[in-house]
Amino acid sequence: MPNTKLEIDEVIGLAARYEVPVEDAVLIALNLYGISSDHRQHRARLDVKIGSVPSVSWKVIVPLNAVESPFRLVDHDLHLGPHCIGTVQRIDADEAVGGYFRDGGRAATLNPNARSRCVGCAFCPNTLEAAADPRFSEERELTELLSAMVEQHPRRNLSELREVTVSTGCFEREDAAVAHLVGLRTALGSQGIAARIGFLTSVIQSDTAFADLAARVAPFVLRLTAECFTRRDLLLKKSKALLRRAEMPDLLRRARQAGLGTSFTYIVGLDPLTELRAGVAALGEHVTEFPNFQVYQAHNSIMAGLRTPGAEQLEFYLQARAWIEQILGGRGLQPQAWECYRPLWYSTFAGERLVGV
């Protein structure tokens, strides 16, 4: 792969053209290209402060062994070409673990079904991660996980949790997924946690399951793992690919009709922009929460070859950002800064300052 050429003047020019903050454009590019450094991790969690906004620290997850990247890490200084554009405050290995906190301890992500052992979608980097997340199959084990997480909480108080997201692609059957969520609600209740449960999945599809979740698990949001709209048989594991693109809007509609919250996840960079626009418009009619849009990260040359033509350029993602704002901006929904570590939005959405920034 040839070295990627990107200069700060180009970033500034593109940011002006698409009317986005320069800092947002830099962070999107950082997600796209990763960082060249002396560290050899496939993926790492970084706290980054960018140039003119030194008071704000952003958490990103990027490869640190991207030798073709225009970004370089020298000690703690982050360089784009000859310019120092920010600092990296902290580096942690991005291991797959049983659970971790977000939003200052008000949200938690659980990986209860051995996420690191999933060998599914072609674009997913989980197989590159260290496996530190066991499979939790019983309510007792979930309770033990929550008890252990108390010690990691900033204030050792899990009752502060407002959102608990189950993030795993390893449930292959609808009944197993629903049973696990029912057990999780019981485990949360035993800890005095009334948080909404969110679940990233494409295996829960039936009206019976939706009714069961509404009765026994709610408050609940179904986050459909759409991921892409084209080449689904090529890019997705079988359990995801079986769900056809044309079926997704009706699935979300039925879930919403059953009283559940609805959203979806999508990887920007796998589909042409025209397909992105059509697919997001179709699904956007049936969501109650802002979808999770992630910048596609290629961790090797094979993964880079999965990008749609043009998606190796920063402008592709700024155009995608603009189109998504046009589609979803009038629905009263906005991205939350803590919900995604590879987003298209950081400090603004559709020209408006994001809450909490």
pLDDT reported for residue 75: 92
267, amino acid identity: I
Q: Tell me what pLDDT residue 299 has.
A: 86
> Alpha helices of the chain — where are they, by DSSP H?
8-17, 22-33, 139-150, 174-190, 207-216, 232-235, 238-241, 248-257, 273-284, 301-304, 314-328
Answer positive or negative: Cα dihedral of 44, 234, 221, 356.
positive
Q: For residues 212 and 248, what is the distance between their CA atoms, to the nearest angstrom?
A: 20
pLDDT value of residue 169: 57
Class of domain 95-312: alpha beta
pLDDT score of 56: 81
Average pLDDT for runs of 10 along the chain of length 357: 78 97 96 92 88 76 93 95 93 80 93 58 55 53 88 94 85 91 94 96 96 98 97 89 95 98 98 98 97 94 94 98 95 89 94 73
- The pLDDT of residue 63 is 92
pTM reported for the whole predicted model: 0.91
pLDDT for 79 equals: 97
Q: Name the DSSP letter for residue 342.
A: S
Q: Where are the domains of the chain?
A: 95-312
Per-residue buried b or exposed e for 127-163, using 16+ beta carbons within 10 Å of the residue's own CB: ebbeeebbebeebebbbebbeebeeeeeeeebebbeb
